[in-house]
Amino acid sequence: IGRDSVEVLGHSYPRDDFTNVTPKILAKVGRNLHNQPHHPLWLIKERIKAHFYSSYIGRWGNPLFSVHDNLSPVVTVEQNFDSLLIPPDHPSRKRGDNYYLNRSTMLRAHTSAHQRELVRSGLDAFLLAGDVYRRDEIDASHYPVFHQMEGVRLFSNHELFSEVRSGDLLSLFERGGRRTPGKQETHSLEAVKLLEFNLKQTLTRLVAQLFGEDVEIRWVDCYFPFTHPSFEMEVRFQGDWMEVLGCGVMEQEVLNSAGADNKLGWAFGLGLERLAMVLFGIPDIRLFWSQDERFIKQFRVQDIHQPIDFQPLSKYPPLHNDISFWLPDGAGEGEGFVDNDFYELVRSIGGDLVEKVTLVDEFTHPKTGRRSQCYRIIYRHMERTLTQQEVRLVHEQIERTAESELGVQGRY
């Protein structure tokens, strides 16, 4: 961080009396855990995408919902708050609860910050995943960076009432209406009830897909400045009700300001960490940031729908063994042997015994020009202490298979 400005993702923002981002937080910007293949947050995102892609098909066989997961977390204060009708003195704007780059720019505190711009760009149905930032304590369930998935769906008169008999006689809006606990002043009651039903059904199906049909849920009335009516969905988990998402009928003013004044819409925002912790039994939110191979490798499945059997990290000791070999001629020039082939092979033979494989040494013979590599394989079991003997058997099999399948020549 410079003295007069803050650098984020290649842009420079002048500091002022509001600036409160720290180097530690800035180091997280750009990590994009939700875009890292096989990361548990990525896995949940992919499962949600797959559900929406297969369940909601557009008129021409296209997916109805478009997916956006690369919007910059740097937003204006106007996007994060004003565009969502959050009043100037609202407590959620507190400097103590947010990361400001300066008075006008911040790290988004929720993915709702992008609702207006995406609606304005003409989208009627979208999902949006991203990292969000809120100043918080760090413990097993709180971390100042987490991830959300936002969903928005808009309906024209025709789209909302097409399934209803004589639906062409109904309208989305009414004049001179009043705001009640159930609806906004400009909305017709029949439109809101259908929209609310569609919203709750969409989300109920989503969690049934994620958690299984037996999942118990309940709806709790709540308040957001940008939706009315608003609800929270809670999921029953180990005997307790746990809040997993907020949602509601979008405030018409938000839609009007985005140029969609002839439509009604619903929106939801869910926390990806919450879902992942429950779904996979991950006990500590800090683990999502772990670069520990023992954590990450447990989510490396072929098919995103494969069940995950997460084991908290092993307390048992590691054993390591090195393997050195001469590479076949021409290796590393696009043909023949590549490092990933070897990692693949080790994983396929060693399976769960292998925690990590690293290239520790590389060498080219000065006379012959032949190249040799040395890899270190760390063996560790999740549930017991491995013996030297069983590790040796696996290690020898890796040596033999590398020779026969990758054409390397062992130096053992």
DSSP state for residue 230 in the 8-state scheme:
E
The smaller minimum CB distance to ligand PHE, of residues 224 and 326, is found at 224
Query: Minimum distance between the CB of residue 152 and ligand PHE, rounded to whole angstroms?
Result: 8
Catalog residues that contact ligand PHE under the rule CB under 6 A.
110, 112, 150, 224, 227, 246-248, 267-269
- Packed helices 189-211 and 40-55: angle between N→C axes, nearest 10 degrees: 130
Number of Cβ within 10 Å of residue 312's Cβ equals 14
The smaller minimum CB distance to ligand PHE, of residues 223 and 289, is found at 223
The smaller minimum CB distance to ligand PHE, of residues 147 and 371, is found at 147
The smaller minimum CB distance to ligand PHE, of residues 69 and 150, is found at 150
Dihedral class, residue 211 (left if φ above 0, else alpha if ψ from -120 to 50, else beta): alpha
Least Cα distance to 373 among 321, 320, 326 occurs for: 326
Query: Minimum distance between the CB of residue 355 and ligand PHE, rounded to whole angstroms?
Result: 36
Query: Minimum distance between the CB of residue 93 and ligand PHE, rounded to whole angstroms?
Result: 14
13: tokens are 């923002």
Q: Are 24 and 16 in contact (CB under 8 A)?
A: no
Query: Minimum distance between the CB of residue 227 and ligand PHE, rounded to whole angstroms?
Result: 5
Query: Minimum distance between the CB of residue 315 and ligand PHE, rounded to whole angstroms?
Result: 36
Work out the burial of residue 60: count CB atoms within 10 Å of its CB; fewer than 13 is exposed, 13-18 middle, 19 or more buried: exposed
Distances from the Cα of 60 to the Cα of 64, 156, 160, angstroms: 9, 18, 18
The smaller minimum CB distance to ligand PHE, of residues 247 and 279, is found at 247
Q: Torsion over CA of 132, 135, 139 and 143, rounded to 10 degrees?
A: 10
- Measured CA to CA, the distance from residue 143 to residue 290 in angstroms comes to 13
223: tokens are 């308040």
The smaller minimum CB distance to ligand PHE, of residues 242 and 304, is found at 242
- State which residue has the least CB distance to ligand PHE: 269
The smaller minimum CB distance to ligand PHE, of residues 153 and 380, is found at 153
β-bridge pairing 125-133 and 105-107: unpaired
Query: Minimum distance between the CB of residue 216 and ligand PHE, rounded to whole angstroms?
Result: 22
Q: Are 225 and 201 in contact (CB under 8 A)?
A: no
Q: In DSSP terms, which residues pair with 13 in a beta bridge?
A: 6
Query: Minimum distance between the CB of residue 192 and ligand PHE, rounded to whole angstroms?
Result: 15
Number of Cβ within 10 Å of residue 78's Cβ equals 13
Query: Minimum distance between the CB of residue 275 and ligand PHE, rounded to whole angstroms?
Result: 14
The smaller minimum CB distance to ligand PHE, of residues 39 and 228, is found at 228
